[in-house]
Each structure stands twice: as structure tokens, then as C-alpha cells.
Structure 1
Amino acid sequence: MIVTVTANPSLDRAVRLTAPLTHGEVQRAADSREDAGGKGVNVSRALSAAGVATVAVLPSAADDPYLALVERTGVDIRRIDVAGRVRANLTVADPDGTTTKINLPGAQLDRNEKAALIDGIVTASRGADWVVLAGSLPPGAGDGFYTEVVEAVRGASRGSAPRIAVDTSGAALAHVVAHARPDLIKPNEDELAELVGEGPAPAAEVLDAAVRQAQTLVADRVGAVLVTLGADGALLVTADEALRAAAPRITVASTVGAGDSSLAGYLIAADAGGDPAQCLRSAVVYGAAAASLPGTQIPTPADVPHWDIVVTALTPR
């Protein structure tokens, strides 16, 4: 069982333009779609489609229109009752796949709602193999929310606690890495650089910089770092090794949800007992498959081609 937590879910609206986005102009759309979004929900959608048992925990009012969309996915959800509405995010995609995103902050959580959400996560996590903490945090949660969740889940576990995977950024990521030692984090190269207090590396140095930066975190502050690099594939860095998998060549339809699908791909392989190279390979395959699909479509096994993904061992220069 893999439990995902989406503290700040979103109704994702995607609009595909007939011409590149031009600031200040009226433009025509080729089509549009709506999906039940939020990083944790996206991970659960991919896991469920692959036959992996999963539960998605999220805050929502009982009459929120978002629920109808998420229920259509077939994902098992644990709804924590709150007063505010789930936010709506907008993605505008150019014909070449370039995306522009407008993300709303989400509804304010009050103290009682925050406590109820943590309690609901702890209850859902009993007996789980993994707990995935994914996405931004809503107003009122505080930068240390994920740290509080990790402490509550581990504190309530009897025997072996579930492993913790975190996919967030900024202050929320910095806090949980500094105070809770998650088993896995999944930043992209810019989020990783920010986490270790560095600026973006030049294009020719991104790979070496990411390996070096990740190795400063394992194993004292995190168990492993899965770094998504877009068209350059992904890295997996543990205390014992650094692995790189190159991405297959694809026609990009939308990059929304590709990182979430990468994390799901990793977990699908881990759930099947895969070794680090197999987990990394699965992460790249699922991320590339998601980028090939429009909107926030999450790949099923039928959407994943049989790409030959080569995994190589790296050492920092």
C-alpha cells in the first residue's frame, strides 16, 4: 500500500493554443480539458492504473466540484473535511509543447482543519509501505507541515514505519530535509540547487552539479535523491552510488504531471522489488510517457512504450 498526501489539491484546466502564446493578445484555443490534479493525486492515479494499491489523502469540502473529477479516476480517496474550495490551476500549452502555468494559492486551512488533516494521514498510513508527501502547501499549513506529518506518522507506527517520499520545493522542502530525514526526495535540478543554497548551474555543468549537490544530502539528511532533468533524463543518488538514465526522444505534448509520473514510476518499480537501476529506469519511462500526453493526463501501462533506457553509473568531477 502506498499512501499519497495532497495538502493543496487542484482542479487542473489545460488549454492548447493554435499559435504560440502572445502577451496581451486574444488567442484561439484548439481544445481544453479538466483533470483532478495535485501532485499526490497524480501519483496515486499512475499507481492505481499500474495495479499498485494506493490511497490518496486530501482536504476538500463535501460539495466541492473537484470531487466529481477525482472520483472518476477510480482512485481510492480519503477526504478530510474543510470549508474552503479546491483551487483551480490553469496551464496554457503552445503548439510546440511549451507550457505556461498559473497556479492559485489554495484555500486557507485553519488550526482545526490542519490537525484533522494530519490525523487523517496518520490513520490512512497505518500498515503502508510508503507515504508520499507531494506538492505545495496551502495557506495556513506553515512551512513545517510535512515535518509535522512525518513525525506524526513515525510516532504512531507500531513496528516498522512506512518509508517517506517527498516531492515539494522551496521552504517546505528545506524544512522537511533539515528536520525529518525523508527516505526519498524528488527535486528537479533547480529545486535541488536552491535546497543546497546554490544558483542554477550552466547547462554544460547541470549533471555534475546535481550529482555533487545530491551527495551532500545523502545519507545524513535524506536516504536518496531522485533528480528529474527533463529532456536529460534523471539521476538517482544514494549513499552508495550515483546513477543516470537518459530520456527517450519524444514529442512533448505537455510537461504538466511529468515529474509526478516520474515519482510514480519509481514507486511502481520499488513496489515490485526493483533495484535502484530498475527504479530509475521506470521513473524516466513514466515521466517521458506523461510528457507525451496532453493536459494532466497520467500514463497507464498501456501508454508506456517499451523504451530501451540505459542506466549508467556516475562519479562527480
Structure 2
Amino acid sequence: MIVTLTANPSLDRTITLAGALQPGEVQAATSAREDAGGKGINVARVVAAAGARSLAVLPLATDDPFDAALSHSAVAAKRVPIHGRVRANVTITDPAGVTTKLNLPGAALDDDDAAAVIAAVVEACAGARWLALAGSLPPGVGDGFYVDVIEAVRSHFGDDAPLIAVDTSGAALAAVVADGRPDLIKPNDEELAELAGVELETGDDLAAAVLPVARRIVPARVGAALVTLGAHGAVLVDADGAWAGTPPRIRVASTVGAGDSSLAGYLLADLDGADPEERLRRSIRYGAAAASLPGTQAPSPADLPTGDVPVRTLA
């Protein structure tokens, strides 16, 4: 089973325009949709769509309208009651797949709320293979909140603790890398560069530029890094090697949630016992599938592109 924590969930509203976004102008939209979102929920939706067991933990008030969208998504969820309401995130997408996002702050968690969320995660992790801590942190908790979750889970389960993947950014990611020793992190190239305090010398080979930066923390601080590169694919770095993969050609509808699907694809491949190269391929296929769907729809195995995903070993 894969357990996810979405500490700062969101109701994702996606608006599709007939033409490019024109700031300051009135434009008609061709369509709109709402999805129960947040990185951990997105991962859980993809895992469930593949027929694997998932459980999404999230803070959610009993009377929050978000619960209707969550129930409609058919994701098994463990709700931790709080007083605030889930935020709404708005994504505006044009026909070329260019997206503009407006992310609102989430409901603030007090100390009791935070402790209840951590306790719920620990309870949910019994027998789990992976715990994925995904997304931004809500107001009211410190940058080290994910570190607190990791310590609580490992303290409770010892050698039986699940593997831990973290998909966040900024100060929260820096805290995890400094003190959490996760088994996997999933930044994109910009988030990795920010973490390392460097500018990537991209040139013609973004994957090659990412490798030495990832090697600064793998395996010294984290077990592995899955670095997504958008249209350039992804790089996987672990203690034993490094690999770069190139995505198949697709028609981009919305890149929102593509990184979450990439992480889900990786975790699903690990559940199947796949080797690192196949985990990377599966991650790239799921990310590409998500980018070809509107909104933050969860791709299923039937949505995966069939084109080749070349993987090469990095020096």
C-alpha cells in the first residue's frame, strides 16, 4: 500500500481558454472543471486508478464542501477534522498548454491540529510500502513539519517503517534534506537548483547538468532523487548509479499534476519490483500521460503513451 499525506489540500479549478491569456482583458473560457487536489491526493488518485491500494491522509473540516469532490474522486481517505476550509487553486490553460496558476493559502493548523495529523499518518502507515509526503505546508506549522512526521513514523515502526518519499520545495524541502534522511525526493530541476543554491549550467543537456547537483545530496543526505525536467524527461540518481530518460511525444493539455503522476508512476513501478531504469521509464510515462489530460485528472494505465522512453546511463 502507498500512503500519502496532503497537509495543504486544494480544490483545483481549471479554466481552459480559446486563446492565449491576455492580462487585463475580458476573455471567454471554453471549459472549466474542479478536482479534489493537492499533491498527495493526486498521487493517491493515480495509484488507485492503477488498481493498487492507496490511502490519502489530509486535514479536512467535517462540513467542508471539498469533501464532495474528494468523495467523487473515489480515493480512500483518512480525514483529520480541523476548523478551517480547504483552499482553492485556479489554473488557466491556453490551447498551447501554457498554464497560469493562482494558489491561495490553506487553512492554518494549530499545534493540536498538527499533532492529530501526525498521529493519523502513523496509524495509516501500518503495513505500507511507501509514505509520500507531498505538497506545500499549511500556515501554522514550521518548515520542519515533514521532518516531524518522518521521525514519528520511524520511531513508531522501527525497521518496519515504510519507505518515505518527499515531494515539496523551498524551506520544507531543505529541512527534510538536512534532517529527515528520506528514501526519495522528487524535485524538478528548478527546485533542485534552489535547494543547492546554484544555477544550473544547462547547455544542450539538462540531465547532465542536474547530475552533479543531485550528487551533492545523494546518497549522503537522501537515498535517491527523481528529478523531473518537464519536456526533457527526468533523471534518477541513487547510491548505485544515475539514469536519464526522454519522454515520448504527446499533445500537452495541462502540465498541472504531471509531477505528482511522475512520482506515482515511480512508486507503482517499485511495488512491482522494477529495476531503477524501469522505475524511471514508468515515472516518465505517467508524467507524460498526466500532461496530455485536462485539469488535474489522474491518468490510468490505459492513458499511458505507447511511444518509446529511451533511458541512458549518466557517467
More displaced 10-residue stretch of structure 1: 194-203 or 28-37: 194-203
Q: Could you tell me which residue of structure 2 aligns to residue 221 of structure 1?
A: 221
TM-score by length of structure 2 reads: 0.98
What does residue range 188-199 of structure 1 map to in structure 2 within 5 Å? 188-199=188-199
Q: The residue matched to 1:312 in structure 2 has which SS?
A: strand
Q: Could you tell me which residue of structure 2 aligns to residue 15 of structure 1?
A: 15
Alignment partners' CA distance in 2, 1:305 and 1:205: 24
| 8 A Cα contact 2:225 2:238, kept in partner | yes
| 8 A Cα contact 2:2 2:55, kept in partner | yes
Q: Could you tell me which residue of structure 1 aligns to residue 63 of structure 2?
A: 63
Alignment partners' CA distance in 2, 1:203 and 1:26: 39
Q: Could you tell me which residue of structure 1 aligns to residue 116 of structure 2?
A: 116
Identity of aligned residues (%): 59
Q: CA deviation at 1:72?
A: 1.2
Q: Could you tell me which residue of structure 2 aligns to residue 101 of structure 1?
A: 101
What does residue range 154-193 of structure 1 map to in structure 2 within 5 Å? 154-193=154-193
Could you give the per-residue CA deviations for residues 44-67 of structure 1, whole angstroms, max 9, x where no partner exists? Answer: 000001011110000000111111
Q: CA deviation at 1:73?
A: 1.4
Q: Which amino acid aligns with 1:55?
A: L
Q: CA deviation at 1:139?
A: 0.3
Are positions 1:32 and 2:32 aligned together? yes
Q: Which amino acid aligns with 1:179?
A: D
Alignment partners' CA distance in 1, 2:265 and 2:159: 27
Alignment partners' CA distance in 2, 1:81 and 1:28: 38
Q: Which amino acid aligns with 1:20?
A: A
Q: Which amino acid aligns with 1:277?
A: E
Alignment partners' CA distance in 2, 1:157 and 1:236: 28
Q: CA deviation at 1:311?
A: 1.1
Q: CA deviation at 1:307?
A: 2.5
Q: Could you tell me which residue of structure 2 aligns to residue 286 of structure 1?
A: 286
How many pairs were matched up?
A: 315
Alignment partners' CA distance in 2, 1:200 and 1:236: 17
Q: Could you tell me which residue of structure 2 aligns to residue 264 of structure 1?
A: 264
| 8 A Cα contact 2:200 2:210, kept in partner | no
More displaced 10-residue stretch of structure 1: 251-260 or 197-206: 197-206
Q: CA deviation at 1:304?
A: 1.1
Superposed CA RMSD in Å reads 1.0
Could you give the per-residue CA deviations for residues 64-95 of structure 1, whole angstroms, max 9, x where no partner exists? Answer: 11111111111110000000000000000011
Could you give the per-residue CA deviations for residues 4-54 of structure 1, whole angstroms, max 9, x where no partner exists? Answer: 000000000000001110111111101000000000000000000101111
What does residue range 109-148 of structure 1 map to in structure 2 within 5 Å? 109-148=109-148
| 8 A Cα contact 1:215 1:239, kept in partner | no
Q: The residue matched to 1:204 in structure 2 has which SS?
A: coil
Alignment partners' CA distance in 1, 2:142 and 2:107: 13
Structure 1: 5+ residue stretches without partners: none
TM-score by length of structure 1 reads: 0.98
Are positions 1:248 and 2:248 aligned together? yes
Could you give the per-residue CA deviations for residues 189-248 of structure 1, whole angstroms, max 9, x where no partner exists? Answer: 000011111124345353222111111111110000000001000000011111011011
Alignment partners' CA distance in 2, 1:307 and 1:279: 16
